[in-house]
Structure 1
Amino acid sequence: MSPNPLKVNSKKEPPLYRQIADALLSGIRDGLFPVGTLLPGELELIERFKSSRHTVREALRVLEDMGIVKRQRGRGTLVISTEARPAFVQAVRDPRELFTYPENSAFRVLAEGSVGDDDHWPARIGDGVDENWARIAGLRTLHDGSPFCWTDIYVLPDYAAIAQQLGRTKRPVYEQIAETFGETVQRISVEICAGSLTGSRAKALQVDEGTPSLVLYRRYCGNGNRLFEVSVTEHPADSFSYSLEFNRGWQAAEHWSWSK
């Protein structure tokens, strides 16, 4: 029996999809799959690596993100390069690095209830939140009491008691939920959009009705990729800005460490 040229190295025991991607990348660089040719099909890779379809697809996604292959519907996975393409990336080691507020600011709870009680429940919150979720509303102010943003925090009903802890610490709500209820943050998504301040929000922030605003939606998923918190923070447009800095690096999830 001839040796399998795509043998998985299990010494370091990385995730299986990484092992598969590593083996395929070695095959590409060794000329087993030259540029312009197709990789073996998904079913063949599933059999060869004794893995699931999901795992094989994740390995191919990794190679596609690196710029090594291009997946084509109905045709297969085409090898387009032997080297990963450079990209510009932003490294975030801690979620708190996203949209941090001044150290001298504080959050003050103004209202508690359920989503069903909120006339301003934004449709943009999306799927996963229903009228039974708990809502905590409040203002973030500077040390002199000047308000600079309104925040609505929506959490699973079982986590409603977290409202009693807010204001006592400057730690983010998702951290307090993780510690108190045993959640593990698996994914955070952030959306920024334009809005305008009206009603009680405009009054609380001491601005005129219709003042342009910048709205941040943060969605936190935890154990089992379950959504457990959504926060909606609204700032008068002239009181908040956010800058991004990207450094040249290799497009990589968990940083590629592969070589020939």
Structure 2
Amino acid sequence: MSATRKPHTIGYRQIAGILVGEIQNGQWTTQNQFPTEMELVERFGVGRNTVREALRELQDLGYIRRRRGARSVLATASPDSAFVNAVHSAHELLDYAKVTRFTLLATETIRVDAALSRMLEVEAGGEWVRIGLLRNREGQTAPLCYSEVYVAPAYAGAIADFENEGELFAAIERRYHIVVRRIEQEIEAILVDANIASRLNVPIGSPALRVRTKFFSGDDELVEIGVVNFPASRYKVRLSLDRRSAPAGMTAG
């Protein structure tokens, strides 16, 4: 099967997204052979490790079964709808944003009240610019998540570049010539209120994961806070962290 060679900058998540689209469109079925690693290397013009990560993503999503020494086999065209975010580094914390499309619901300047102060862990009384977003995966009708992104007013001009960048903090870096040096992320289980339930098409009081991410500049200035609400059945986080060295007083056994 011939195909146009893709740029070398394509990542494994983008490759996985392309293959998912082809599976859902019926190009690959349980009756025909799924491409081998080398066929995908040639097609996308990337290294074998990138292809393996893409195939691991498809396996995590439930689309394929991988077999050592043999080509992968398509398991189903309609797996569990949960998105799996496999995180190996800070760069991958927000990878779901790169493979989803968003709908901008509203942009407004708000003053932080007591309840919002507790949720964001910022001082009450300050002003932030808030963006409401819904994200969807290709081929999925139910929203993947509902997000509220809070931007420090001094950096609100980057909102105009948001759609082109895909990630707001990247737009802030580009426009204001700063670098986000530190990212803090907290994940908690919640029961959704009426506002979130209506956005996500789930019952009031149903379980969800709330992910709060804070972005700090090199001067330790808080420039952005993202609060993302994922219905419990639509999102999973998989962490893989390398232990580079043993703590003092410990030896390898």
TM range (shorter): 0.5 to 0.7
Where does residue 68 of structure 2 map in the other structure? none
Where does residue 177 of structure 1 map in the other structure? 172
Change (3 A) 1:185 1:103: closer
Deviation at 1:150, TM superposition (A): 0.7
Where does residue 229 of structure 2 map in the other structure? 234
Q: Which runs of 5+ in 2 are unaligned?
A: 1-86, 248-253
Count of equivalent residues: 160
Where does residue 163 of structure 1 map in the other structure? 159
Residue from 95, 107, 111 that aligns with 2:106: 111
- Largest Rg, 1 or 2: 1
Contact preservation (8 Å) 1:115, 1:130: no
Deviation at 1:243, TM superposition (A): 1.1
Contact preservation (8 Å) 2:155, 2:172: yes
Contact preservation (8 Å) 2:182, 2:218: no
- State the alpha-carbon separation in 2 of the partners of residues 173 and 251 from structure 1: 36
- Aligned counterparts, 1:43-192, within 5 A: 92=89, 95-101=90-96, 103-116=98-111, 121=116, 123-127=118-122, 130-144=125-139, 145-170=141-166, 172-192=167-187
Where does residue 205 of structure 1 map in the other structure? 200
- State the alpha-carbon separation in 2 of the partners of residues 216 and 109 from structure 1: 19
The percentage of aligned residue pairs carrying the same residue is 24
Amino acid aligned to 1:164 = A
3-state SS of the aligned residue for 2:210? Answer: strand
- Measured against aligned partners, the alpha-carbon deviations of 1:66-100 in whole angstroms (never above 9, x if no partner) come to xxxxxxxxxxxxxxxxxxxxxxxx962xx331242
Amino acid aligned to 1:245 = S
Tell me the TM-score normalized by structure 1.
0.55
3-state SS of the aligned residue for 1:161? Answer: helix
Contact preservation (8 Å) 1:153, 1:232: yes
Contact preservation (8 Å) 2:183, 2:215: yes
3-state SS of the aligned residue for 2:238? Answer: coil
Q: List structure 1 segments (4+ residues) > 4 angstroms apart after TM superposition.
A: 117-120
- State the alpha-carbon separation in 2 of the partners of residues 200 and 119 from structure 1: 18
- State the alpha-carbon separation in 2 of the partners of residues 102 and 153 from structure 1: 13
Contact preservation (8 Å) 1:107, 1:166: no
Root-mean-square deviation (Å) = 2.6
- State the alpha-carbon separation in 1 of the partners of residues 178 and 215 from structure 2: 10
